[in-house]
Amino acid sequence: MSQQDTRAMLAEALASVAPEADFDTLREDEDLRDALELDSMDFFNFIVAVHKATGIDIPERDYPKLTTLAGALAYLAR
Amino acid sequence: MNEFRMPSLGADMEAGTLVEWKVAVGDRVQRGEVVALVETDKGIIDVEIFTEGVIESLCVQPGETLPVGTVLAQLSGAGAEAEAEAEGTPPPEPARPAKRDGAAPAVVHQHPDADTPTATDALGADTHATVGARRRATELGIDVMQLTGTGLDGRVTLADVEVLAGFANGDTVVQLPAEPATDTRDTPAAAMRRAIAAAMTRANRDIPHYALFRDVDLSRALDWLTAHNEGLPPDQRLLPAALLAKACALGLRRVPTLNAYWIEGDLQPVESVHLGWAISLRGGGLVAPALHDADRLPLPELMHRLADLVGRARRGGLRSSELSEATCTVTSLGDRGADGVVGVIYPPQVALIGIGRIAPRPRVVGDAVVPRPQATVSLMGDHRASDGQTGGRLLDIIDDLLQEPERL
């Protein structure tokens, strides 16, 4: 998956948990949970969506690495 | 002939806008079938029907905004009455008192300026005013039918009569906004704000709340959760919320006084535990849909339903039964909120369970002070319906259950 594809996939995953969010104004280093007001259930749904789209198993201990856009892009590019 | 009316999807709903019919004239409908999409200030809701029959006529067109109780469609069909009486279904006739387990209270609201035959028909003499209000009104020579109620589902309450009679202490008259949901100047968020304001003002005025607290050690629950989740794919993992919800639901089953409705001065316990789960919406406001039979759901199923409920609260697609059938609500602040919460009970429920942020805090264990992940669990009770001892028992049970997570 190219970085562009990954970005699009993340946008879609975030849109599914925060439909009213404006993805374009999201800064790469911003904490998604703060910027998009995600609660723990929303973040869970986001991780599930990313897992379904990529097939990558994301262990719970790695969740903190996916709390920013930059972090998620780096993590999924490994 | 049966009528399908605009349902009341909670004490804070006054009206809804028909978005789309999911059925046509001549269609046979089954209990629980989604027949219409209705827009409320909680989003677009899938509205279910609880009578069986054939659609004879659709009385309103998409786009119309209608007060709760308005007839939307006429149905015919054998067995419709019997079906309507079945356990666990909301009453089809808004004028019927709700004394049934699992059922939402009778859905009647007197629209302040609704004097059409339809609206009048929906208001039986029995439901227009509470017993106390009728008695007091008779004493004072006031005709309750001329009053606009601010009580549950628009009933005239004793307080309404007293206000009119000038006996109320204070000079502030609490008046519901005339047409909160239908005011075209309102954004949906503003309409929701006003609906919540009306419902919470009424709840805070009518319900004598008491509040209890318990600091619960969650180290065992969280350790168990980590071990449980290890090796499972993301969609099968559990969140602490699932354990907390299950503990609350099991606790409520054992303290039925708190899993109940307060209607017309009567405590009406509900056999099923339909746990309301408060979800704060990003546009402002909140919604607390029911997790049906939460006490009977195995944890993985409960987690799945909870995640689905939150997802649909965001995207749309909550069902009318989910919005009207909660028997006790839980407001959980998650891991990033405040340490504790004192909330307002959502009528006609009689209790509200609050769960503060889970965070490491010092705890005395034996002779030592040790850091432990803890949450302050609070219980708001309606003092008309229960006393502090009952509330304390629920907190005890919830705490005990969370010390043995493998049994949840």
B365: confidence class by pLDDT, cuts 50, 70, 90: very high
Q: What is the pLDDT of residue A60?
A: 92
User: Tens of pLDDT along B232-269?
Assistant: 999 999 999 999 999 999 999 999 999 999 999 999 99
State the residue range of the domain holding A17: 3-77
- Give residue B217's Cα distance to chain centre: 29
Q: B25, B6, B27: which is closest to B16 by C-alpha?
A: B6
Percent of chain B residues topping a pLDDT of 90? 57
Could you tell me if A54 lies within 8 Å of chain B, comparing CB atoms? no
Average pLDDT taken over every residue of chain B: 81
Per-residue exposure over A42-73, b if at least 16 CB sit within 10 Å of its own CB, e if not: bbbbbbbbbbebbeeebeeeeeeebbbbebbe
Interface touch A48/B235, C-beta < 8 Å: yes
Check if the beta carbon of residue B8 is closer than 8 Å to that of residue B104.
yes
Q: Is the peptide bond before B348 cis (omega within 30 degrees of 0)?
A: yes
Q: What percent of chain B has pLDDT over 70?
A: 73
Using DSSP's 3-state secondary structure scheme, residue A6 falls into helix
Q: Which domains does chain B have, with CATH numbers?
A: 2-126 (2.40.50.100), 129-201 (no CATH), 209-407 (3.30.559.10)
User: Are B270 and B259 contacting, i.e. CB atoms less than 8 angstroms apart?
Assistant: yes
SS (H, E, C) B75-141: EECCCHHHHHHCCCCCCCCCCCCCCCCCCCCCCCCCCCCCCCHHHHHCCCHHHHECHHHHHHHHHHC
Total domain count, chain A: 1
The distance of B233 to chain A (nearest Cα, Å) reads 6
pLDDT at B78: 54
pLDDT: which is higher, B308 or B161: B308
The per-residue pLDDT for B283 is 77
Closest CA in chain A for residue B231: A59
Determine, for residues A40 and B311 on separate chains, whether the beta-carbon distance falls below 8 Å: no
Is the model more confident about B175 or about B342? B342
Sequence letter at residue A2: S
Give the amino acid at B379: L
Task: Using a CB–CB cutoff of 8 Å, tell me whether B235 touches chain A.
Answer: yes
B88 φ/ψ sector (left φ>0, alpha ψ -120 to 50, else beta): left
What's the pLDDT at B124?
34
Q: Which residues of A touch B283 (CB under 8 A)?
A: 20
**For chain B, counts of helices (H) and of strands (E):** 11, 20
Q: What is the mean pLDDT of residues B105-111?
A: 37
If you average pLDDT over residues B299-323, what whole number do you get?
Answer: 93
Cα separation, B169 vs B236, in Å, equals 56
pLDDT digits (tens, 9 = 90+) for A2-34: 888 999 999 999 998 998 877 888 899 999 998
B265-271, long-range: CB < 8 A, 24+ apart: B265/B130, B265/B131, B265/B132, B267/B350, B267/B385, B268/B98, B268/B99, B270/B101, B270/B102, B270/B327, B271/B101, B271/B102
Select the residue of B239, B280, B315 nearest A40 (Cβ to Cβ).
B239
The larger pLDDT score, comparing residue B198 to residue B96, is at B198
Question: Which residues in chain B touch residue A37, judged by CB atoms under 8 angstroms apart?
Answer: 282
d(CA A18, CA A23): 10
Classify B32 in phi/psi space as left (phi over 0), alpha (psi -120 to 50) or beta.
left
A41 touches chain B (CB under 8 A): yes
Query: Is the pLDDT score of B174 beyond 70?
Result: no
pLDDT at B349: 97
Nearest to B319 by CA among B293, B292, B298: B292
CATH number, domain of A30, equals: 1.10.1200.10
Best of A37, A39, A42, A65 to substitute, by most chain B Cβ atoms within 10 angstroms, is A39
Q: CB contacts < 8 Å between A and B, how many?
A: 55
Confidence at B376, pLDDT banded by 50, 70, 90: very high
3-state secondary structure at position B184: coil
| A58 touching B (Cβ < 8 Å) | yes
Predicted ipTM > 0.85? yes
Asked if B233 lies within 8 A of A33 by C-beta distance, the reply is: no
Q: Which pLDDT value is given to residue B360?
A: 95
pLDDT in tens, B6-44: 988 877 788 889 999 999 999 999 988 999 999 887 778
CB neighbours of residue B2 within 10 Å: 21
Q: Kindly report, residue by residue over B178-233, the tens digit of the pLDDT.
A: 444 444 556 777 878 888 888 899 999 999 999 999 999 999 999 999 999 998 99
Q: Is the pLDDT of residue B122 over 50?
A: no
Query: Is A29:A70 a contact under the CB 8 Å cutoff?
Result: yes
